[in-house]
Structure 1
Amino acid sequence: MLDQKLLEVLQHPADGAIAIVTQGAGEPHVANTWNSYANITADDKLLFPAAGMNQTQQNIEKNNKVQLTVANRQVQGKMYPGTGFLVKGTARFITEGAEVDMMKTKFPWLRAVLEITVESAVQTL
């Protein structure tokens, strides 16, 4: 089960950026998306619409490990307003099926869905 504070960050109406880090043959690659784009499945996977993310997809096809930073200045942190998480997990891109159909109703511009299986989430702020 995902941490309640992480869920609060992901679902807060004040949007924040998410950095997605992948590793391909060369140096690490960072792609950005928005907290409001995150969809959480019943089994606690994170789904994000992908319009571009071509390098991210190429990297994941070679190495499915990902790291994300997720933050929001409005959510109470450990000592003051604002909190963030370092999320680690595995990822894959989905191009057909129920998840894609559901996500297309919200994001008709997507070409695929990035699915992340969370292995750990550590609150950093």
Structure 2
Amino acid sequence: MLNEKLLEVLAHPADGEVAIVTQGEDGPHVVNTWNSYVHVTEDDRLLIPVSRMHNTEKNIERDNRVKLTIGSREVQGTRYKGTGFLITGTAKVVKEGPEFDMTKERFSWPRAVLEITIDKVVHTL
């Protein structure tokens, strides 16, 4: 499901921003993280370390649908330098288990891991 260009964006050394959108009680709720924090599993799930994101966690408990935008100004897009993606899927917050342990090995600060199962990827730039 994940194409080479998206994997290139996630691996690029010039860190880019990731926006994560959940549905809050009062409308969409957005938090940000960095491309370099996102880990892609062998089965194309995204694992993102969670420090705060308390509202995101509450929203996912009520409605697990999420949207993410991921991009980089440094990676060649379809027409010019710079590319981006819109990802839709479902999420859960994981606080124990092998993927949490792996994330804690990479970073000292996570209290949980946001695990995203991808439904659709759209190349937007």
Which range, TM-score by smaller chain? over 0.9
Deviation track 1:4-35 (CA, whole Å, cap 9, x = no partner) reads: 11111111111000000000222110000000
Counterpart residue number, 2:40: 40
TM-score (norm 1): 0.98
The farther-off stretch of 19-28 and 52-61 is 19-28
Q: 1:97 deviation in Å? A: 0.3
Identity within the alignment, %: 59
For residue 21 of structure 2, give the secondary structure of its aligned residue in structure 1. strand
Q: What is the alpha-carbon distance in structure 1 between the residues aligned to residue 24 and residue 65 of structure 2? A: 10
TM superposition outliers: structure 1 runs of 4+ over 4 Å: none
Deviation track 1:39-93 (CA, whole Å, cap 9, x = no partner) reads: 0111100000000000000000000000001000111101000000011000000
Counterpart residue number, 1:119: 119
Name structure 2 gaps, 5 residues minimum. none
Counterpart residue number, 2:29: 29
Pairs within 5 Å for 1:10-29: 10-29=10-29
Are positions 1:58 and 2:36 aligned together?
no
For residue 5 of structure 1, give the secondary structure of its aligned residue in structure 2. helix
Instruction: Count the aligned residue pairs.
Output: 125
Q: CA RMSD in A?
A: 0.6
Counterpart residue number, 2:82: 82
